[in-house]
Each structure stands twice: as structure tokens, then as C-alpha cells.
A and B are shown apart, each in its own frame.
Chain A
Amino acid sequence: QQQVRQSPQSLTVWEGETAILNCSYENSAFDYFPWYQQFPGEGPALLIAIRSVSDKKEDGRFTIFFNKREKKLSLHITDSQPGDSATYFCAASEGGNNKLTFGQGTVLSVIP
């Protein structure tokens, strides 16, 4: 049973558009949700994260919207740039637990 699901698997947007990446989870005890950005051949880099007590987290062009009741969250990338082309992973963990569960990833392509 996949605990963290992401959609779409792949997404293509034009430069300047807003990319929306979706994530949902099963475990109600999850309370921390980081998003990672990974370029080919590199390790994932922590992009932005939200805790379940918040419904929105913003950092520059990246915003997480969180809906605890529906167990869903989304990452919005505004003014998308070709350099944003990468795989984005949604992850989740339970407070005090040393286990981070990742989704399958969304491959984002930004066309100039």
C-alpha cells in the first residue's frame, strides 16, 4: 500500500506559467511534509516543507497548500523557469519517527 501518492507522473508547462504538483497521503499521523527537487544524477535537495498545523507555506516562487481534512497537499511553482525542470518528490513523516516516506515523484519539464 503506497502511503504517499503523487500526480501527475509528468507535467509540462511553458516558461512563466504556474506548475501545480499534487500529493496525497494515507496515514493521518503524518505531520511533516517536505518537498524535494532532484536533478538527474544528483541527490535530492530539500526545497520547502510544511507542518500539519499550517495550511500554507511560501518561499519565493514555491508555495505549499495543505488540506489536512482531505489529506492532500500541492506544490505551486509560479513563473516557472527552464531551470526548474527536475523531478519533484513529496514526502511525509510522523513526529518523533525517523522514517521519511516518499511519493513516486513528478517529472516537471518547463519549455522556454
Chain B
Amino acid sequence: AQTIHQWPVAEIKAVGSPLSLGCTIKGKSSPNLYWYWQATGGTLQQLFYSITVGQVESVVQLNLSASRPKDDQFILSTEKLLLSHSGFYLCAWSRGTQEVFFGKGTRLTVV
């Protein structure tokens, strides 16, 4: 069975500080990987997707970047956090381009 693990579970960070969020998928080789962002009480906005190691496509520009250093790992980062980065970050995977499965998310609060 496939498992998706996100870390950390929650973060409180200062404006202007760097950020790194991670995601690991086990039990599925060469998955498509995604990062989503969700404001409190809001909808889900796709940020990035990756179909293979080393290749990441950006969907929206939010002063964030993503990388896929290994087949089963997806990293979301920024060098300088903004207040608007607060929210719920969700990593997801899919087989093909449909049936997307989400992780438990990371709650980020920027103060």
C-alpha cells in the first residue's frame, strides 16, 4: 500500500525567514507529485507538479519553489517567508494524471 508522509506537521515561522517542507511517498514507483496550498476555510490551489526526478512545473507564482531530488521525495521551499504564505500545505501523488491522493498536510503560520 502507498503511504505519503509530510513533515513537519506544523511550523510557526517569522516573516523573512526561510522555509523547507518535505514529502515522501512509499510503495509507488515514479509517481506524479504535487504541492497544494489551502487558506483557512478556503479551496485548494495547486502550486507545483512533477512527473519525474529533477523536473518540476510551476502552476502559480507565490514566491515559492519546489524540487524533486529523489523519485519518492518532493520539497517545497522559499528563502523569505511572507505573511501571505500562511496556510495548509498539502503534498499529493497520483498514478497517471487522475486519482490524486493527499497527505495529512503541514500547517504553516507566518508571524
Contact = CB atoms under 8 A, between A and B. Distances in A.
Whether both chains belong to one complex is answered with yes
Given A42-B105, A43-B90, A104-B43, A99 B100 contact: no
Interface stretch (B44-52, B65-73, B77-85): B44-52
A98 B43 contact: no
Interface residues on B, range: 20 to 34
A99 B43 contact: no
A27 to B, nearest CB: 15
Contact of A103 (B43, B90, B100): B43
Nearest to A97: B97
Contacts of B32: 98
Given A97-B97, A99-B59, A43 B49 contact: no
Nearest to B33: A98
A82 interface: no
Contact of B43 (A32, A49, A93, A105): A105
B60 to A, nearest CB: 10
A36 B57 CA distance: 24
A99 B105 CA distance: 19
Contacts of B107: 41
Interface string B8-33: 00000000000000000000000010
For the complex of A and B, list the 10 residue pairs with the smallest distance between their C-beta atoms, beginning with the closest: A43-B102, A102-B44, A98-B49, A43-B105, A102-B43, A32-B98, A104-B43, A43-B104, A43-B90, A44-B102
